Amino acid sequence: MADPQYHEFNRRLRRVERAHRRGHGFEAHGTLGRSAYTARPRQSNFLRPLMLIVASGMVLKALMFMHVGELDYRTRVAQLENGPMVEQIGAYVMQPDMATKWLAGLFELVLTSPTQLKG
């Protein structure tokens, strides 16, 4: 005579093996299995790259302002204002504002060596 528990066990064993062949995984309740380590989709943030581009542009603008000097910088921006539409837009963007002057002063303090400051 066949044991009814043995038939139940074989039926459950075939079901588990079939699930494994299909790629299913089994995790015990309350344990940290593979599902606990799946990466959650990150929300894309368009503001961070935009702010990085704006900050980089301001730094470059301040470095140009510091390197060329205020008088020559204003002359070059005035020349851009008389050009085509693209150059006029560039002249508007390149206008020396307070942040540009402040950054240029800061860069000048940082980038000039102490021997140049004494003389």
Q: Which of 112, 111, 100, 102 is nearest to 64 (CA)?
A: 100
- Residue 18's pLDDT is 85
Q: Does the pTM of the predicted model rise above 0.75?
A: no
Q: Which of 55, 57, 91, 99 is nearest to 74 (CA)?
A: 91
Task: pLDDT tens for the chain, 119 residues: list them.
Answer: 578 888 898 998 898 888 777 777 666 666 666 666 676 777 778 899 999 999 999 999 999 999 999 999 999 999 999 999 999 999 999 999 999 999 999 999 888 866 665 55
